[in-house]
Amino acid sequence: MTLKLETPIYGLLAEFDGEHELMHAAEQVRDAGYRKIDAYTPVPVHGLSEALGLPRSRVPLIVLCGGLIGGTTGLLLQYWTMAKAYPLNVAGRPLAAWPSFIPPAFEMTILFASFGAVFGWILLNSLPQPYHPVFNVKRFERATTDGWFLSIEASDPKFEYGETRQFLASLGAKEVSDVEH
């Protein structure tokens, strides 16, 4: 069985000299109307996601939900076990001892919020993903040391092989490579 692919290649990958060149190119590519674009950098670059027109990260929302779930679970678990399931009378002290319930509930809040943060960033990034077409470009191994890359996918409606290649080269790319699927 042969895999049916909509496009002959995944897209084009352009390498730039540095942060400023990449940032400038990203803005140009976005303004030219390309949407299926991404940049690859060895360090997080401030403002690059805005330059690419990426939406704000949704991680904070997941963290908030995690924290609320953790805190509520912690308080309810303690209330139910101490006051309902196993009411133990210790010298007549209140069974629902809310001040005592704060430390475990606090720890549960932090624990669940942290799970939210970590699984949030991993899953929102569609990781783990051992294979990705950009890894086919030999030069791409520099992306985790000192390479600055910009990719345009062939499935982008505006993608026109010759024209897009020309456009990327005109933005000052050091090298433009075809990315195999």
Partner 1 sequence: MADITRTREEGGFILEPSPTRPGPPAKIPLLHPAHNYETVTRKITSLVFNRTPSGWYIGMAILGLGMMLFTASVGYLFARGVGIWGINIPVAWGFDIINFVWWIGIGHAGTLISAILLLLHQEWRTSINRIAESMTLFAVACAGMYPILHLGRPWLAYWLLPYPSPTNLWPQFRSPLVWDVFAVSTYATVSLLFWYTGLVPDLATMRDRTKNRFLRVVYGMGSLGWRGSARHWNNYQMAYLLLAGLSTPLVVSVHSVVSFDFAVSILPGWHSTIFPPYFVAGAIFAGFAMVLTIVIPLRAFYRLHDLITMRHIDNMAKVTLVTGLVVAYGYLSEIFFAYYSGEYFEKFFITNRITGAYAWSFWALILCNVIAPQFLWSKRVRHNLPAVFLLMMFVNIGMWLERFVIIVGSLHRGHLPSSWAQYAGTFWDWSLFLGTMALFLFLFFLFIRALPAIAIFETRELIHPDQSQTETPA
Chain contacts with partner 1 (rule: CB under 8 A): 17-20, 26, 38-45, 48-49, 52, 54, 57-60, 63, 77-78, 81-82, 85-86, 88, 90, 93, 97, 100-101, 103-104, 106-108, 110-111, 113-115, 117-118, 120-122, 124-125, 127-132, 134-135, 141-146
What gap in Å lies between CA 113 and CA 29, rounded to an integer? 37
Rg of the chain, C-alpha, whole Å: 25
> Are 15 and 139 within 8 A, CB to CB?
yes
Q: State which residue, 68 or 117, has the beta carbon closest to partner 1.
A: 117
Q: In whole angstroms, how close is the CB of 1 to partner 1 at the nearest point?
A: 25
Q: State which residue, 33 or 128, has the beta carbon closest to partner 1.
A: 128
Q: State which residue, 1 or 89, has the beta carbon closest to partner 1.
A: 89
Q: In whole angstroms, how close is the CB of 51 to partner 1 at the nearest point?
A: 8
DSSP annotation string for 13-70 = EEEESSHHHHHHHHHHHHHTT--SEEEE-SS--TTHHHHTTPPPPSHHHHHHHHHHHH
Question: How many H-runs (helices) and E-runs (strands) does the chain carry?
Answer: 5, 4
Q: State which residue, 18 or 162, has the beta carbon closest to partner 1.
A: 18
